[in-house]
A and B are shown apart, each in its own frame.
Chain A
Amino acid sequence: MIERSYEKYFRQNRLPHLWCPGCGNGIVMKAIVQAIEKKGWSQDNTVIVSGIGCSSRASGYMDFDTLHTAHGRAIPFATGVKMANPNLNVVVITGDGDCTAIGGNHFIHGCRRNIDLTVVLFNNNIYGMTGGQASPMTPLGKKATTAPYGSIDRPFDACKLAEAAGATYVARSTAFHVQHLVKLIADGMDNKGFSFIEALVQCPTAYGRRNKIGDPAKMMAWMRDNAVMKTAWDKLSEDKKIGDKFPIGLFYKVEEETYNDSYEKVRDIAGGSLR
């Protein structure tokens, strides 16, 4: 066999990874490195920043300059990296709890500033690492250790949140739609400004088991059966957007001035420009 070209982006001595059998995080991590490979970014010029949680362990397996930061604070660290050296490509790996609960404010303000980052949110609908507490993205009625009778807190739609807060590229895909996910991440990397990609992943241990969804393959089959491409979703009548159906694809894309460019203008005025 010819060794797969993306394997060079992994820290081989760290594999196999510690995620549970059937966890979707591995699939999305591979999608990210494949997108980086597609873009031709060098390992020395790319920084991976992650917060805390199952998803954020990914930075430890990826052979780039990586930062594993404080809970919820991946976007502020990444902002610092990008501001210090705008030539670096910065990718943020975060989870649903990390991004929308603990780092909720950092997330919306990152979007607001339109800083040139690519943020990939691994949405497993639960706090997997700490034992299955309900996260802000746990769907209504789904069980968690902190919601034994089903969650009554209405979940965030992170894509709508990002769009409303000012992100310039917003997309969603799932661990089942691997090629689609790779393309969306690569397109997000192309976008100058805050790119947000939500990747649905299955958590068979903390979420699937408690909600009796079945094995990892069944959870992925659920993604296959319920994800509707954005173009088809727009044509669907309201009475068919029922049950678990959700849209995937590119939701929003617009060109806006990035934070680095705005800041460079400030430097010009203040007389300290590096250009």
Chain B
Amino acid sequence: MKSEFTLKLDRCKGCGICAAFCPKQVLALDKLGKIYVADSEKCIACGQCELRCPDYAIFVDKVKEEKESVT
């Protein structure tokens, strides 16, 4: 599964709620206390981060992967 993140960093206050409730530890806080995507490969696009972000700063969309054609 691939997922596309949209971060509105001007809204992020670095509370860490999204990182704490991420079941796959995809998110982390950077040195300045803002959120960043540390490991997008692990993301399962569950949307828990977006659901509970109090600042509407993170959005996750599922991206459909194109199936590789087997020949």
A: residues with CB less than 8 A from B are 1-2, 4, 7, 10, 15-17, 19-27, 30, 175-176, 178-179, 204, 215-218, 220-221
Contact = CB atoms under 8 A, between A and B. Distances in A.
B11 interface: yes
A178 B52 CA distance: 7
A215 B19 CA distance: 12
B54 A23 contact: yes
Given A17-B55, A25-B54, A26-B56, A217 B61 contact: no
B56 A1 contact: no
A176 B52 contact: yes
Contact of A22 (B4, B11, B17): B17
B36 interface: no
Interface of B: 4, 6, 10-11, 13-17, 19-21, 51-57, 59, 61
A27 B13 contact: no
A215 B15 CA distance: 8
Given A216-B16, A220-B17, A27 B11 contact: no
Given A1-B6, A2-B61, A220-B17, A26 B51 contact: no
Nearest to B20: A217
Given A1-B4, A16-B11, A217 B16 contact: yes
Nearest to B54: A26
A217 B54 contact: no
Contacts of A23: 15, 54
B55 A1 contact: no
B52 A22 contact: no
Contact of A16 (B4, B52, B55, B61): B55
Given A15-B56, A179-B51, A216-B16, 16 more contacts: A1-B4, A1-B59, A16-B55, A19-B54, A21-B13, A24-B54, A26-B53, A26-B54, A27-B53, A178-B51, A178-B52, A215-B15, A215-B20, A216-B15, A216-B54, A217-B20
Contacts of A204: 15
B13 A22 contact: yes
Nearest to B7: A1
A182 B23 CA distance: 23
B54 A27 contact: yes
Given A1-B6, A1-B61, A30 B17 contact: no
Nearest to A201: B54
A176 B53 CA distance: 10
A27 B52 contact: yes
Contacts of B52: 27, 175-176, 178, 220
A217 B15 CA distance: 8
A16 to B, nearest CB: 4
B55 A26 contact: yes
B67 to A, nearest CB: 23
30 contacts: A1-B59, A1-B61, A4-B56, A4-B59, A10-B56, A15-B11, A16-B11, A16-B13, A16-B57, A19-B54, A20-B13, A21-B13, A21-B15, A22-B15, A23-B54, A26-B54, A27-B52, A175-B52, A178-B51, A215-B20, A216-B15, A216-B16, A216-B54, A217-B16, A217-B20, A217-B21, A218-B20, A220-B20, A220-B21, A220-B52
